[in-house]
């Protein structure tokens, strides 16, 4: 799996989790303390997030990093 495919899959998983807890992108970005446009780019697989940002997103998404990254290289 190439890097772009990994980012797209991670973004898809994040979007699914966000929707499962009924938050908009703007609400999630606010809770995770990231810019909304940056967060949108993460969901679209356009941004390679740092581990720190991924942890903040997971706290806001009420899940752990392992759930979102399982079986990704």
Answer yes or no: is 73 within a domain: no
Q: How does pLDDT run across 2-48, given as a tens digit for each residue?
A: 999 999 999 999 999 999 999 999 999 999 999 999 999 999 999 99
Answer yes or no: is 34 within a domain: yes
Answer yes or no: is 72 within a domain: no
Which domain range does residue 52 map to? 3-64
Answer yes or no: is 69 within a domain: no
Number of domains in the chain: 1
> Which pLDDT value is given to residue 73?
86
**pTM beyond 0.85, yes or no:** yes
- Give the DSSP letter string of 37-72: HHHHHHHTT-----HHHHHHHHHHHTS-HHHHHTT-
1 pLDDT more than 90: no
């Amino acid at each position: 799996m190439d890097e772009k495919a990994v980012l797209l899959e991670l973004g898809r998983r994040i979007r699914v989790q966000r929707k499962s807890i009924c938050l908009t992108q703007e609400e999630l970005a606010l809770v995770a303390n990231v810019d909304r446009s940056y967060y949108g780019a993460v969901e679209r697989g356009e941004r390679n997030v740092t581990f720190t940002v991924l942890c903040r997103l997971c706290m806001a998404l009420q899940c752990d990093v392992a759930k979102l990254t399982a079986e990704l290289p």
